[in-house]
Amino acid sequence: MTTLEARELVKDFHVRVGLRRVRLRAVDNVSFTLTPGRTVALVGESGSGKSTIARMIARLEKPSAGSITVTGPDGRKVPERQYRDNVQMVFQDPFASLNPFHTIEHHLARPLKLHGKPHGWEDVVQLLERVSLPGRDIAGRRPHELSGGQRQRVAIARALAPGAKVVVADEPVSMLDVSIRLGVLNLMARLQREEDLAVLYITHDLATARHFSDDILVLYKGRVVERGPADEVILNPQHPYTKILASAAPNPEARGRAVEIDPADVERAGAAAAYDHNTGAWEEVTA
């Protein structure tokens, strides 16, 4: 039972404006827990800090404050050296996340080797077959010979190679064609069930967040504005910002409706206190 707990995560970036250095808070006091077999979705627009959270969990960025701890099945904290055996990430763009120079075999054999697993041709083929790819046919190919969906499956296989129990998926389907998105999401769901994975699903798409996760956290400017069970948050949104997001999504059933969204309203909505569906309470904005 490997769980990951993020507590009061903060990330500040320093930007130079003229001669001054300005602090930009990308992630502001975000806490959540990933537990085996459950998917938590982080929903937000660009700039809301969701990718920064993913990069902090993948140890690509250092949090400015707060902690990320992984607890192993024995109930003890996983030491830093074994962190990457347990936590892996699937990147957004399968066209960018595979090195064009190397074969698929290289992409999978390396993580297997680095994490002390058997890393022969057969092991790579097996790994590819777990993500429903014809392993023998594909292992020797290079990324540009595969379609977008196939590449993303390879990327998922790479994340599973070290035997990770916590997987961060940063917009895993947004770069894929619509007709193959469902297949990739379902593959992730199958692997999650088989391996009892804890998944953090990062997306800007409210609809897939609703259907493919158990809990949803809505982010605005680095702050969680609403959290709760998926259906609750989407079907019964309490926070004004979540309501705006839901109304802005295309809806074929509402042809000819006039949605007026004033940017000032969005700003005002985002500043409101956060709502937690689990406790049914509004939490004050901490300064």
Partner 1 sequence: MTNLSPVTVAPPRGRSGWRSMLPRWSPKLGVGLVLIVLITLIGVVGPLLVGDPSTIRDIGLTTPGGEFWLGTTLTGQDVVAQLAHATRGSLYIGLLVGVMATALSALFGIVGSYVGGYVDEGFNLFSNVMLVIPGLPLVIVISAFVPADQRGSWTIAVVLAITGWAASARVLRAQTLSLRNRDYVAAAKVSGEKPWRVITVEILPNLLPLLASQFVFSVIYAILSEAGLSFLGLGASNSSTLGTMLYYAQNGFALQREAWWWFVPPGLIIALLGCGLALVNFSIDEIINPKLRDIPRRDKAEAARTPDPVPRPDDDVVLTVTDLSVVYQVDKPVHAVKDVSITLRRGEILGLAGESGCGKTTLAYAINRLHRPPAEVTTGSVTFHDREGGDIDVLALTPGELRAFRWSKLSMVFQGAMNALNPVISIRAQLDDVLTTHRPEMTKAQRRARCEEVLKLVGVDVRRLSSFPHELSGGMRQRVMIAMALLLDPQVMIMDEPTTALDVVVQRGILREILRLRDEIGFAVLFITHDLPLLLELADRIAVMKEGEVVEYRAAQDMFEHPEHPYTRQLLDSFPSLTGERGSFVRSGEQTPPVDRSGEPTPSGGVR
Residues in region 161-190 near partner 1 by CB under 8 A = 161-162, 175, 177-183, 185-187, 189-190
Burial status of residue 35 (CB atoms within 10 A of its CB: 0-12, 13-18, 19 or more) = middle
Least separation in angstroms between residue 267's CB and partner 1 is 11
Q: Does an H or E element contain 259, and which?
A: none
* Identity of residue 117: K
Site for partner 1 contains 271 (CB under 8 A)? no
Site for partner 1 contains 34 (CB under 8 A)? no
Least separation in angstroms between residue 222's CB and partner 1 is 15
Site for partner 1 contains 259 (CB under 8 A)? yes
d(CA 39, CA 202) in angstroms, rounded, equals 10
Instruction: CB nearer to partner 1: give 236 or 279.
Output: 236
d(CA 195, CA 102) in angstroms, rounded, equals 28
Print the binding letters for residues 209-248 with partner 1: x by CB under 8 A, - otherwise: -xxx---------------------xx--------xxxxx
Burial status of residue 19 (CB atoms within 10 A of its CB: 0-12, 13-18, 19 or more) = exposed
Site for partner 1 contains 150 (CB under 8 A)? yes
d(CA 96, CA 100) in angstroms, rounded, equals 8
Which one of residues 22, 96, 273, 281 is an interface residue with partner 1 (CB under 8 A)? 96
- b/e code 261-270 from CB counts within 10 Å (16+ = b): eeeeebeebb
Site for partner 1 contains 272 (CB under 8 A)? no
Q: Does an H or E element contain 216, and which?
A: strand 215-220
Which one of residues 1, 60, 273, 285 is an interface residue with partner 1 (CB under 8 A)? 60
Site for partner 1 contains 249 (CB under 8 A)? yes
Site for partner 1 contains 255 (CB under 8 A)? yes
Site for partner 1 contains 65 (CB under 8 A)? no
